[in-house]
Amino acid sequence: MKKNILLLIIGGLMFSTCSTKTDTGSNPFYSEYDTPFGTPPFSEIKLEHYMPAFTDGMEQEQNEIDAIVSNSEAPTLENTIVAMEQTGELLDKVSHVFFNLNSSMTNDDMQAIAKELSPLLSKHRDDIRLNDKLFERVKAVYEQKDDLQLTPEQKMLLDEYYKSFVRGGANLDETKQDELREINKELSLLTLQFGENILKENNRFEMVIENKENLAGLSEAIITAAAETGKERGHEGKWVFTLHKPSLIPFLQYSEKRDLREKMFMGYINRGDNNDTLDTKAILSKMAALRVRRANLLGYKTHAAYVLEENMAKNSENVYQLLDKLWKPALAVAKKEFKEMQALIDAEGKKFKLEPWDWWYYAEKVKKAKYNLDEDMLRPYFQVENVRKGAFDVATKLFGITFTERKDIPKYHEDVTVYEVKEADGTHIGILYTDYFPRASKRGGAWMNEFRAQSNMDGKEIRPVIVNVGNFTKPTGDKPALISFDETITLFHEFGHALHGLLTDCTYPRLSGTNVPRDFVELPSQIIENWASEPEVLRSYAKHYQTGEPIPEELIEKIKKSDKFNQGFATVEYLAASYLDMDWHTITEAKEEDPLKFEDKSMSRINLIAEIVPRYRSSYFRHIFAGGYSSGYYSYIWAEVLDADAFQAFKETSLFDQKTALAYRTHILEAGGTEDPMVLYKRFRGAEPNIEPLLERRGLN
């Protein structure tokens, strides 16, 4: 079973003996897609197609596994490891479509299917990795690996399969394997429930404003967007603000109504913590305890030890060491930022102490005072279509690749745009979907995923189909989508992930693209962010949506001068969440903790100041309780050490130096997970990364 599918399937895979047969002729999953480049025919895929394809896909894969096990020939890399890599084609196909759409186009019926699937998929995956006869064959190949003259990629594939069996419980006795199965099954359902609750929390909150005086401080664009949201939600003639970031953040930045800022902020940080049917505290507490039980069963002291063994960090001590190294200077800078804002409050004659819901508002005031810069000055220059083209142009200048919109390729929503990606000589690379605007059916945040992974087994070249998803500011009234500079950086970030998925050049899908350790996967996304704010690049894509004029030099200079502004806050809120993640997953006792008390203790230990709340509180920390980042949220800052150092390679030559770009493409993007990430990084950079560029970038040195 390919690793990339496991990232899509929450809780793993499973086989059911109860196969629900279907009319395969009417189900698009059972035949080759009759579309350009074999992209999913979304309009032909119906709800009733999913379960039969999943059930038959699991049965087919189990039959393929049985054939490998019953092979009378001695185990070899080809007849065991590569044969496993070639199983599950139908299951892969339906999984990629279903789990992508369940994130971006979900509904009650999709969620019901997901709940039905979760225990089935969990059992299927356990049936494979707990198959003792299959493990005997894998182990037999693994034990002779030094004599097989394997390529680095073959060796990595063998290592990955062997470790997946051992880490999946293959060495446990039958009783412990049964216990592991139950834990995996329960975790898969809890993970699903956590994500569903937070999606519903995001959608149900609304602050309805009837009195126009309560809009004081907000720009015309923000007010127009709120009016449109009001109309959409059945509050005609009123203004509605929601917890979706394009609504929440501008309100916190500009609203002069402190009580309303507090209401919005508290609505945001209390998601999953309202002691009602959507409360997540019991769910996450149980998940943390189950993860300890699973880790202990597999021979690890903590869940973090189990996870980090596979990452660059290797152990929790190394993670805490990095966090500690950054925490002290970041907290010191944040305290200085707080004093600046409190001084401004005092100077205004206000008689209150700055609270968390005031930070965004007064940070914006300080920024305006110090740099004569605010978001409303920048937005007209960041039309989403121009920003996307700016990202594409960076890739073209670095790697020679091109992006051509294709209107003949099916898409799953009208907001989606589809591009064919080609080499400079016209050779097809892959397909990229972009889906940028929020909707009730889409979970929050931004991400990259794939509808099909790249591979090249047995000379059969499979080209990738990639998707970038965001929740950026939508068009309002007669204005196009004018996004914030932070949203611009996020668009570039996810595009960096897309490049990793598109430009990979590997034999096996398990090792291609973003199938790399969690704390390495953010390098390709974060390094591309650097180009977004480079003056040379800004001039090329940041153009006024009405006049087409490039962003003025004075604004570029202000952006440059303010690039370290509020970095104490940004670093502290991020690090606080990273500590919280690590604390939850270095628990050694499998007992259910009180999340509120646990979180208070965690934040007290690092002396988090009261004016800052962790970027994610436990109750809505989707990354670690409904995503793949448990014991891994630190990865962004770990990878930022890499990306800051890696970008220096371009700064030391030139922004689009072709030799450096080729080395980066070859050793990082194309290589996927075929070798140890530090080996790949040193091959590109010539040495291990230095932390100084990161400290300099964030103004923490």
DSSP run (H or E) holding 612: none
From the number of C-beta atoms within 10 Å of its C-beta (0-12, 13-18, 19+), residue 328 rates as exposed
Largest CA distance in the chain: 85
Q: How would you list the strands of the sheet with 428-435, edge to edge?
A: 402-405, 417-422, 428-435, 465-469, 447-452
Look up residue 416 and give its two tokens: 């989606």
- In this structure, what are the phi and psi dihedrals at residue 448, rounded to the nearest 5 degrees? -120, 145
Q: Do residues 690 and 645 lie in contact, with contact meaning Cβ atoms separated by under 8 Å? A: yes
Whole-angstrom CA distances from 104 to 437, 446, 686 are 10, 10, 40
CA-closest candidate to residue 225, choices 195, 246, 200? 246
Who contacts 555 (Cβ-Cβ below 8 Å, separation ≥6)? 373, 377, 378, 381
Distances 414 to 410, 470, 571 between C-alpha atoms, Å: 10, 14, 37
Spatial separation of the C-alpha atoms in residues 649 and 686, rounded to whole Å: 10
Cα 175 to Cα 339: distance, rounded to the nearest angstrom: 59
CA distances (Å), origin 20, targets 48, 256, 653, 693: 11, 59, 60, 57
Sequence-ordered list of residues with C-beta below 8 angstroms from that of 65, at least 6 positions apart, any chain: 84, 87, 128, 131, 134
The one catalytic residue in 160, 196, 494, 670 is: 494
Q: How far apart are CA 254 and CA 252, in angstroms?
A: 6
N residues, the chain = 701
Query: Residue 23 carries which DSSP code?
Result: -
* In contact, 525 and 496? CB cutoff 8 Å: yes
- Look-up of token digits 């009602």: 276
Q: Which two tokens stand for residue 401?
A: 């690749």
Which positions ≥6 away from 420 have C-beta within 8 Å?
Answer: 37, 403, 404, 406, 409, 428, 431
The rounded distance, in Å, linking the Cα atoms of 47 and 29 is 12
DSSP structure class, residue 669: I
In SS3 terms, 457-510 reads as ECCEEECCEEEEECCCCCCECCECCECCHHHHHHHHHHHHHHHHHHHCCCCCHH
The reply to whether 494 belongs to the active site is yes
DSSP for residue 71: -
Say what angle helices 281-297 and 567-585 make with each other, to 10 degrees: 60
Q: Rounded distance, CA 230 to CA 242, Å?
A: 10
List, by residue number, the catalytic residues.
Answer: 494
